[in-house]
Amino acid sequence: MRALIALLPGDGIGPEVTAQAARVLTAVGELYGHSFALREAPVGGIAIDQTGDPLPAETVALCQAADAVLLGAVGGPRWGPSALVRPEQGLLGLRRALAVFANLRPAVPHPRVAAASPLKPAVLRGVDVLIVRELTGGIYFGEKRREAGWAEDLCTYTEEEIARVVRVAARLAQSRRGRLTSVDKANVLETSRLWREVTTRVVREEFRGIELEHQLVDSCALRLVQQPAAFDVIVTENLFGDILTDLTAVLGGSIGMLPSASLGEEGGPGLYEPVHGSAPDIAGTGVANPYGAIGSVALLLRHSLHLEVEATAVEAAIAAALESGALTVDVADPDDRACSTGEIGDAVVAALSLHKETR
């Protein structure tokens, strides 16, 4: 296979973790006979510094021409939330330019890092949850107004916006354990009542074998901490998904462990990124956790390039590296030697090569 991958390292620790993810992607190409062309472009704060625009036209053009996009992180204190031009505008604009509307965030805790989670090992046993977050609607993209003494953010959803992300989640549930939990706030919000009605209709008419349950977002948050193994696939709107997916970081031991994929209609380039932020306080120190970025490579191989064998190999290499004790400081036990960002990349690439040799 020949594929063009756009690399957007971004800000803070983004370049550090993206470099390790790119190493793994290159190794996959060499081991399995693929040709991956990796081309880099600026986004976020660094793009503001270079061009005055958090999403330059050249970056958009590269991403739209690519087979997939691998992103690091955007943001930092140099570009505060009150600034007129902010790094996060680049991320929202990129999602819009790529027409990605379904954000997939899996959380599968590895036993080697279970001690890093504040939850009891018994609670984490058997956890394999996938959250599908609607990405381009809701309050983040609604009309906003600010006047003296008050502000307004409008939350809107159309039936089609809801139906298309529910279809993605239901298809994923079909390939897993057949259970779908739709999360809303239907006891208060009109958009949530529409969400519940559309979800019920789509699943009933198009996915008859799926077991569907509805849950309010507040009770879902509680249940994710108390009984995370009870969930299979969760689908929810933009704001609720943003919050719940960060909550699942406690399941994996660290937010640095979690990958993500943002998908649109079939055939368009997907957007892949770790779920952590730019972490400017540790940028440049060599301690950032690249497992989330490397896990995003596995999702890229699976969903955009349709290379399931290679995706599974990357996931197996991550598991092997963790089992060998390749742990960054955020997940290491007090008695462990914490590895650097680069050492994690070394361990995963070595495990990937060994996996290929033994197959």
**163 with 235: CB under 8 angstroms?**
no
26-44: average pLDDT: 98
pTM above 0.75, yes or no: yes
pLDDT digits (tens, 9 = 90+) for 95-109: 999 999 999 999 999
102-126: average pLDDT: 91
Interacting residues of 187 by C-beta distance below 8 A, sequence separation 6+? 216
Active site residue 140: yes
Residue from 100, 165, 107 nearest 131 by CA:
107
Over the range 51-83, which residues count as b (16 or more CB within 10 Å of their CB) and which as e?
Answer: eebbbbeebbebbeebbbbbbbbbbbeebeeee
92 shares a domain with 42: yes
Count of positions (residues) in the chain = 359
Query: Looking at the domain assignment, is residue 330 inside a domain?
Result: yes
**Which of the two residues, 267 and 17, has the higher pLDDT score?**
17
265 shares a domain with 248: no
Q: Which residue is catalytic, options 185, 232, 272, 330?
A: 185
274 shares a domain with 351: yes
Residue from 283, 313, 326 nearest 16 by CA:
283
**Residue where a domain stops, chosen among 233, 252, 271:** 252
Active site residue 281: no
Lowest mean pLDDT across 6-10, 79-83, 312-316: 79-83
7 shares a domain with 94: yes
User: Could you give the CA distance from residue 349 to residue 6 in angstroms, rounded to a whole number?
Assistant: 21
Number of domains in the chain: 2
172 shares a domain with 73: no
Active site residue 185: yes
243 shares a domain with 136: yes
Lowest mean pLDDT across 132-141, 179-188, 308-317: 132-141
Q: Within 13 Å, how many C-alpha atoms sit on residue 218's CB side?
A: 4
pLDDT digits (tens, 9 = 90+) for 45-66: 999 999 999 999 999 999 999 9
Q: Which residue is catalytic, options 32, 128, 153, 246?
A: 246
Q: Which domain holds residue 267?
A: 1-108+259-359
**Residue where a domain stops, chosen among 204, 219, 252:** 252
Active site residue 242: yes
Q: Which residue is catalytic, options 242, 336, 346, 356?
A: 242
Give me the pLDDT at residue 130, please.
97
pLDDT digits (tens, 9 = 90+) for 214-254: 999 999 999 999 999 999 999 999 999 999 998 988 898 89
161 shares a domain with 233: yes
Give me the pLDDT at residue 250, please.
87
- The CATH number of the domain holding residue 241 is 3.40.718.10
Give me the pLDDT at residue 18, please.
98
